[in-house]
Amino acid sequence: MQEFLPSDPIRVFVTSPSSLMRPILFVLVLLLSSSTSFSQLVKVLDFGEIYSTYDWSAESKAELRADLGDVLAEKVITLSNESAWPKGIADLAARAQNRARMDDYIIFYLTTVKEHIAILFVPAIENRGMPEHMRPKGDIYFLIGLRAVDMEADAAESDAGDASGFQSAEGFAAQLDQIVQDYPNDFINLIGELLEEDGENLSYTYASYVNLEGSTMATFYEDLYYENTSYHADFPGSEDHSEGLKTYYELIRRIETTNLSSCSLLKAEEYVDGRVHHQSFSAYDPGGNLGIGFQGMVVGVYLAQGEVFDEEGQLVSYWYPVLSVYKE
């Protein structure tokens, strides 16, 4: 069934999570097709074009399986129905009531069926900052009329602010400076909503109000046992280790050319263990007057090995850089 809601534009964008403490991240289904780039964020122009209970014909199913493979196609068919969605969007009345917060979903384009219906991917891992009643417990999918999806959307524009009134700086260098400046305060001014709680290990993961330019996810990780809070931002990677390594070194170059207002950064010798790389920069002051709040601070880049499903539904390695700001 297709439904109709007010048609003002909806912005779809990246907020973020990740942690150096968790080097193996399951980056689910973002690179599943040889013909489609699943890292493409999109803007939904009219959520009234959504199909909440799509009637999959044998022809449509065959087209989907040919494009995505049997494993992913079955997930799309099962999880694109409103019965699989969070309570806050599980029926027309709920979607109308929560219309404003639907703007905050992070959504990726997968493919198109019947030439006019876009298949959109809503990953649970990147939508953990949503209110509980709208937060997917697992990955879900939307089917929306293709005319209501802007494939040229610039998601970066949504990184500039947050509903809290906080304004993120613009550009990688200014954003990194903003994060480092709040390090002595345990990032208290930049920490957003609680995303995950691990009571057994006394650790908590929070959303971030600052998403580094080019990153796909960003979070703060608080460890009460060690009394330490750290910032982590994931950047795009590749199944090809050499391509992931290029992104890793590009990120290091950007740090090297960044001038921080609170301290300088001293580059350490790169640590390499097999195919895993780690480059750290320690806070220091050339004049020996490093502020006490910045002592022990490290900005690090880590080439992490995660896993993704390929188009045949098999897990394959995925290499992606993580930038962290943490206490040594």
**Mean pLDDT split into 10-residue runs, the chain, 328 residues:** 38 33 36 41 82 91 86 89 93 86 83 89 79 88 88 51 47 92 89 86 89 91 91 92 93 93 93 93 90 93 84 82 95
Percent with pLDDT over 70 in the chain: 82
Give the model's pLDDT for residue 168. Answer: 53
Cα R_g (the chain), whole angstroms: 21
Distance CA 240, CA 244 (A): 6
Give the model's pLDDT for residue 1. Answer: 53
Give the model's pLDDT for residue 263. Answer: 92
Q: Which helix (H) or strand (E) holds 278?
A: strand 276-284
Distance CA 210, CA 16 (A): 9
Q: What is the mean pLDDT of the chain?
A: 80
Give the model's pLDDT for residue 169. Answer: 56
Contact 206, 194 (CB under 8 A): yes
Residue given tokens 């780039």 in the structure block: 37
Structure tokens at 102: 């639907």
- Per-residue pLDDT reduced to its tens digit, 142-196: 999 888 888 775 544 444 334 344 445 568 999 999 999 999 989 988 988 888 8
Distance CA 8, CA 242 (A): 43
Distance CA 38, CA 20 (A): 24
Give the model's pLDDT for residue 153. Answer: 58
Helical segments of the chain, H only:
58-68, 70-79, 92-97, 172-181, 241-256
Residue 200 CB coordination number (10 Å): 6
